[in-house]
Amino acid sequence: MDTYGDLVTLLLCFFVLLYSMSDINAEKYEILVRSFNPSAVEVSQIVIDSDRQPGEDPLVSGEPDEQQMDEFDDLFYTLSKYIEQNNLQDDIEVSKGDGFAFITFHNNIFFDGDSYVLKQEGKDTLDVLAGALNSVTESIKEISVLGHTSQASPDVPNEPVSDRFLSSNRATEVLLYLQQKNFIDPTKLVASGYGQFRPISKFDTAQDRARNRRVEILITKTDDVERSLEEYYAESESIKVETILENQQESTQE
C-alpha cells in the first residue's frame, strides 16, 4: 500500500507539472531543464513566445486571456447576476450550451393574462438583455423569440385562432422592443408563435399550465450548426439538471 501510495503521489505531481506548463513560459522552462541537468552550459529546446514579455504569463498574473474568453460567457454571467440581484429566479431561467444561449421568461414578467401588452417590468428586463447583447452582436447568428400559451382546460384545447394570435403577438411585441434598441441587424431577429403546442409541462394543474405560458429567446452563435428546437430543448434541460445536481453537491459539502 505504501508503494502504491507513493506511485499515485508521484503521478499526481507529474500531471500537475504538465498542467503548469500547458502555457509555456521560457523562464520557467529553463529553470525546470536546469534542475534536471545543472551542469548544462546551454539550455536547448526552449519554446519562446516572441510576442509575450517576461512577467506576462497568465499563470503568474492570474488574468484570463481575453482572446480565449467566450463572449457568450459574459452574456450568461450578466443575465445570471441580474436575475440573482432582482430575485427573479422563479420568473427567468437562463442556460448556455454549445453555440447558443437559451432564456425562458415566464408569462407574468412580460404580460398580463390574455394580453400581449408588454409590462414595464418586462421592458426593464429587456433593457438589460439588449445591453448585454450589444457587446456580442458580431458573434450572434440569430435571435429567435418564441411565444407559447397553455391549454386553459386539461381536457379542452384552446380556440385555435385566438391561441395562435396571442402567442405570435407576444413574441412579436418582445421582438419589436428589442429591434427598437437598434443594437443588431433586424435581419437577425425572428419571432414565432407556437400556441399551446410546445408545452414543457402538463395541463393538469394551475402550476403546470403557468409553466407553459412563456416567452423564450434563443440566441445562436454565428458558427453554430443548424439544429431543431427539440435539440436545443434537450441540451438546455440537461444543462439545468447538471446545474441542480452540482448545487446539491455543494450544499451537501457545506
3-state SS, residue 254: coil
pLDDT value for 228: 76
pTM of the model: 0.66
pLDDT at position 64: 41
Between 67 and 97, name the one with better pLDDT: 97
Of residues 25 and 99, more confidence is placed in 99
Band of residue 241 on the pLDDT scale cut at 50, 70, 90: very low
Structure-model confidence comparison of residues 251 and 39, the more confident one? 39
Instruction: Single out the residue of 221, 227, 224 nearest to residue 139, CA to CA.
Output: 221
pLDDT tens-digit map of 28-80 = 566 666 656 656 555 555 444 445 454 444 434 444 444 434 677 888 888 88
Classified as helix, coil or strand, 207 is helix
d(CA 87, CA 102): 19
**Chain-wide mean pLDDT for the chain?**
79
Kindly provide the b/e burial profile for residues 83-115, where b requires at least 16 CB atoms within 10 angstroms of the residue's own CB. Answer: beeeebeebbbbbbbebbbbbbbbbbbbbeeee
Q: Band of the pLDDT at 198, cuts 50, 70, 90?
A: very high
CA separation for the pair 68, 74 (Å, rounded): 12
What is the pLDDT at residue 66? 46
Q: What is the pLDDT of residue 60?
A: 40
pLDDT in tens, 164-176: 999 999 999 999 9
pLDDT band per the 50, 70, 90 thresholds, residue 111: very high
Share of the chain above pLDDT 70, in %: 73
pLDDT tens digits, residue range 66-94?
443 467 788 888 888 889 888 898 899 99
**Mean pLDDT across 232-247:** 61
- pLDDT class for 144, splitting at 50, 70, 90? very high
